[in-house]
């Protein structure tokens, strides 16, 4: 069907009136517009056949019905004026078929378009200055989160209202976040751009569902990025039953909880933000996966040096005591805090320096080394720059060694012009985890 091509809105008779250009405060009465549209009169008995023939010419607009009763025997079908100005605009084959159904001409009439009849993109294009567009937003429960830049600020209120009024009724509030997230807990200052009358009753506590996993959290006090949904799925595919996950910066559980729920793995999830910790516990209850997950409210470095370390020791000891060498789990460490996660890798250096560990020959150390999945921002400074090499160098500089087993380097997001989020998945080298000179052949403590 012929939808309005919003990329050509300025040339279209279906675009909003030109006098709304530059509007900063929304006045929906200014969007009324009278236009002349073509229509055909069709006998009801031929509607099914005519619909198949003309469907690409239908005038399809929001909250607009292009098919209506003309009388008891006929229907009117309003067509797109951008596609048809005369009967000869139909192809010869189309004209022949239309004639066979008793349609030999098109008629014209005036209709009024209102604010509600325009697509969101058309409205924004109509009011914003030429060359200014809104390209990024996230839907989080009943909230739309806008990512606005300096050129948008004079128009922020009308942008918010356009988004709100062109959204489903469950969307109650449109907010703008600070361009940079620099707080300790990755929450952000937000400004309400538009909201419905009942928005205050919901506050900023939202409920979202991602791949059959439900989450609830206070959007104002935690970090949540729905754009990472695909990345979470990619990483989830790397984990299978009997694996162990240490989630160093777990947030409200967007990765830890699906692993515990769908993979039946053992999960240790940590976040320093007390609000994340609170909602992580709540989401575990909601998803009924508490038997597979432990939750901690620690600094990431403390979590690695103490909780993760002690858990590895106990797990290794259990494997050795039970001699379960044919069912060795894979240990995963997720570190999704791209601004600083790489800096926390030094916590793994000489982690077992003082430990007296004896691994039997049947249990190669190489099979026990953690698989690290660390995220980092990378900036592009020049054309042709190899960003994968750059992010790898960041990691190797912190660990002070070359990585022998790099499983994957993935561009996850383009977060800003020339700024990207990358994930590097690698096996932590043995000479990093164990201090050189430490005796790994003694009794396991």
Count other Cβ atoms within 10 Å, centred on residue 83. 14
Question: Is 336 annotated to bind ligand?
Answer: yes
The answer to whether the beta carbons of residues 375 and 422 sit under 8 Å apart is: yes
Question: Is 272 annotated to bind ligand?
Answer: yes
Question: Is 232 annotated to bind ligand?
Answer: yes
Give the C-alpha separation, 443 to 97, whole Å: 89
Question: Is 423 annotated to bind ligand?
Answer: no
Query: pLDDT of 216-240, one tens digit each?
Result: 999 989 989 898 999 999 999 999 9
Q: CATH class for domain 33-113?
A: alpha beta
What are 68's two structure tokens? 């209506």
Among 369-373, 393-397, 411-415, which stretch is predicted with the lowest mean pLDDT? 411-415
220-433: CATH topology = Rossmann fold (3.40.50)
Is the domain spanning 120-203 CATH 3.30.300.110? The answer is yes
φ/ψ of 420, rounded to 5, equals -130, 155
Domain definitions of the chain by residue range: 33-113, 120-203, 220-433
How many angstroms separate the first and last alpha carbons of the chain? Answer: 71
Torsion of CA 124, 127, 129, 133, to 10 degrees: -10
**Strand order in 173-177's β-sheet?**
137-140, 143-146, 173-177, 190-195
Mean pLDDT in the chain? 90
pTM for the predicted model, two decimal places: 0.83
User: What integer pLDDT is reported at residue 178 of this predicted model?
Assistant: 62
Give the C-alpha separation, 116 to 121, whole Å: 12
SS3 420: strand
* 174 has pLDDT over 90: yes
């Amino acid at each position: 069907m012929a939808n309005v091509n919003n990329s050509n809105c300025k040339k279209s008779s279906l675009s909003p009136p030109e006098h709304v250009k530059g509007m900063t405060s929304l006045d929906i009465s200014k969007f009324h517009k009278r236009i002349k549209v073509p229509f055909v009169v069709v006998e009801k008995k031929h509607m099914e056949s005519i619909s198949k023939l003309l469907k690409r010419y239908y005038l399809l607009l929001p909250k607009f019905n292009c098919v209506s009763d003309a009388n008891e025997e006929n229907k009117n079908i309003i067509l797109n004026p951008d596609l048809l100005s005369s009967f000869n605009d139909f192809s010869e084959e189309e004209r022949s078929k239309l004639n066979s159904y008793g349609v030999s001409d098109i008629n014209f009439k005036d209709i009024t378009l209102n604010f509600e009849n325009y697509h969101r993109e058309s409205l924004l294009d109509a009011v914003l200055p030429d060359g200014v567009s809104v390209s990024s937003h996230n839907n989080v429960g009943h909230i739309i989160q806008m990512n606005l830049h300096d050129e948008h600020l004079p128009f922020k209120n009308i942008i918010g209202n356009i988004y709100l009024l062109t959204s489903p009724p469950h969307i109650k509030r449109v907010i703008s976040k600070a361009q940079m997230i620099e707080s300790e807990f990755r929450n952000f200052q937000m400004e309400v751009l538009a909201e419905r009358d009942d928005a205050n009753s919901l506050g900023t506590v939202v409920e979202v569902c991602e791949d059959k996993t439900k989450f609830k959290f206070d959007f104002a006090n935690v970090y949540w990025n729905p754009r990472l949904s695909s990345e979470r799925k990619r990483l989830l595919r790397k984990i299978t039953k009997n694996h162990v996950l240490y989630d160093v910066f777990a947030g409200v559980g967007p990765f830890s909880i699906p692993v515990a729920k769908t993979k039946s793995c053992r999960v240790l999830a940590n976040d320093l933000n007390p609000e994340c910790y609170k909602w992580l516990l709540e989401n575990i209850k909601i998803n009924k996966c508490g038997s597979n997950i432990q939750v901690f409210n620690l600094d990431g470095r403390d979590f690695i040096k103490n909780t993760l370390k002690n858990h590895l020791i106990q797990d290794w000891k259990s494997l050795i005591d039970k001699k379960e060498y044919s069912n060795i789990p894979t240990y995963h460490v997720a570190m999704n805090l791209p601004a600083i996660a790489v800096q926390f890798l030094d916590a793994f250096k000489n982690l077992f320096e003082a430990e007296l560990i004896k691994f039997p020959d049947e249990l190669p150390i190489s099979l026990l080394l953690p698989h690290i999945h660390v995220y980092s921002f990378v900036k592009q400074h020049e054309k042709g720059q190899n960003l994968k090499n750059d992010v790898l160098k960041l990691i190797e500089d912190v660990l002070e060694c070359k990585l022998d087993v790099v499983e994957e380097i993935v561009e996850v997001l383009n977060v800003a012009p020339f700024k990207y989020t990358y994930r590097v998945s690698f096996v932590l080298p043995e000479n990093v985890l164990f201090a050189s000179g430490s005796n790994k052949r003694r009794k396991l403590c």
